[in-house]
Structure 1
Amino acid sequence: MKQVLVLGAHGQIAQIVTKNLLAEDVQQKLFLRSSARLTVANPQKEKLIEGNALSLFDLQQAMEGVDIVYANLAGNVVESAKNVIAAMKAKGVKRLIWISTLGIYDEVPGEYGKWNHEQLDGGYLETYAEAAQLIEDSDLDYTIIRPAWLDNQDEVSYELTRKGEAFKGTEVSRKSIADLVTKIIGEPSLYVRESLGVNKPNTDGNKPAWYR
């Protein structure tokens, strides 16, 4: 049975992925700073692990026997990325799914791109870009996912762009990102060493329609 380590398991996207994976032949290690924040739905398939992604020791312990690492992290993502890479190397784990953000390659065009910089520059966009570069420079079999601005619509509707292509659209549902992550976990040969922009089709504009 495939074993997946979910880093940042309390995150909204991660919780959708975790629920999706209950229907698959997958064992999950749910890694988060406070295990009391989550309740396991199926103890046969899920195990809570309390730890910090800023601790190399915690990550190495959690990666024992793991096939795939799915990282849904916030905060100090640069140090987290360094630790994840080092821990995976130490434990011989190759497959990584890493949630990043749009704009890390300055790939968002036009007025939306300018607006996105205004919202995310000053420490957020720069750190996610640096973390992504660390991952791309590693020898891991990574997939970096760059979502558009996220919403909680109950829908799965998305299209992909590759690194080097202009980003499309302005928004996407968390459920859509979770669907993509779930598909990659189910078929790990998908999108190896690729960085994917993800958006809902036909949502072009100067900013997300719901943003005020």
Structure 2
Amino acid sequence: MKITILGANGRIARIAEQMLLEHDDIELTLFIHRDNELGAAVLDNDHVTVVTGDAKSEADVLPAIEGADAVYANLAGGRDSSEDIIPMAKATVSAMDKAGVKRLIWISSLGIHGEVPGEFGAWNARILGDYLTNYRKAADVIEASDLEYTIIRPAWLTDKDEVDFETTEKGELFRGTEVSRKSVASEVVTLLLNPGEELRASIGLDKPGTEGDRPSWMLSNSTEHLSE
């Protein structure tokens, strides 16, 4: 199986890469803007090809996607440049259409559909602001395509070494406030290895039992935050 990972330097992506490389029959093409964050275990693996380029450019993305069975997009527009995620979505869809690749896993954010209730939802919308607006526009690009996509909307992310999550479908209210990056990576890998699941779906991921007005890291002053 050939999988292309866009935004392969991302923290969730790097966990997923390690999980995928446990399978000897998987070949990874890792698309990155810079190559200084991938570890030697990945870079020196015979099953890995690294491609550099601009994720906003279809011309750069297309060569990385050609021949793939599936694409996992772990792309991110920063807090000050979140509008970049929209041209990234457009470039991804266009390149996949040209390459004839259908399966896409796309990482987005909780709250893009106004699905986070109560005080936590109000806080989340206030903190993220235009970030949510732009990530919603990018998700709209994906959903308007004819791709076999799954959009994943994680809660606020932690670095806990655990796989513990529940999912909600689009139209359902979000429940928890946080989830581990390892949990998100695990779900990404499951969907890549089972390409018929959650087709043309948008799913929320959170850790059960983390309901509240804020993620727990806000109370403990840890460094865990919302970031790919």
TM-score normalised by the chain length of structure 1? 0.97
Residue 43 (structure 1) shift:
2.5
Residues 14 and 38, structure 2, Cα contact 8 Å, conserved in 1 = no
Give the number of equivalent residue pairs: 210
**Counterpart selection for 1:211 from 204, 211, 218:** 218
Q: Give the residue type in structure 1 aligned to 2:15.
A: I
User: In the alignment, which residue of structure 2 is the partner of 1:90?
Assistant: 98
Gap regions ≥5 residues in structure 1: none
Q: Give the residue type in structure 1 aligned to 2:19.
A: N
User: In the alignment, which residue of structure 1 is the partner of 2:87?
Assistant: 79
**Counterpart selection for 1:111 from 119, 124, 127:** 119
Aligned mates of 1:176, 1:193 — CA distance in 2: 21
Aligned mates of 1:36, 1:172 — CA distance in 2: 27
**Counterpart selection for 1:133 from 131, 136, 140:** 140
Residues 143 and 200, structure 2, Cα contact 8 Å, conserved in 1 = yes
**Counterpart selection for 1:44 from 43, 46, 57:** 46
Residues 40 and 46, structure 1, Cα contact 8 Å, conserved in 2 = no
Identity %: 49
Aligned mates of 1:6, 1:32 — CA distance in 2: 9
User: In the alignment, which residue of structure 2 is the partner of 1:65?
Assistant: 67
User: In the alignment, which residue of structure 1 is the partner of 2:58?
Assistant: 56
Gap regions ≥5 residues in structure 2: 78-83, 220-228
Residues 59 and 83, structure 1, Cα contact 8 Å, conserved in 2 = yes
Aligned mates of 1:139, 1:59 — CA distance in 2: 18
Runs of 4+ off more than 2 Å: 39-43
Task: Give yes or no for the alignment of 1:157 onto 2:169.
Answer: no
Residue 114 (structure 1) shift:
0.4
Q: How does 1:161-180 map to 2 (within 5 A)?
A: 161-180=168-187
Cα RMSD of the aligned pairs, angstroms, is 1.0
Aligned mates of 1:106, 1:26 — CA distance in 2: 37
Residue 35 (structure 1) shift:
2.0
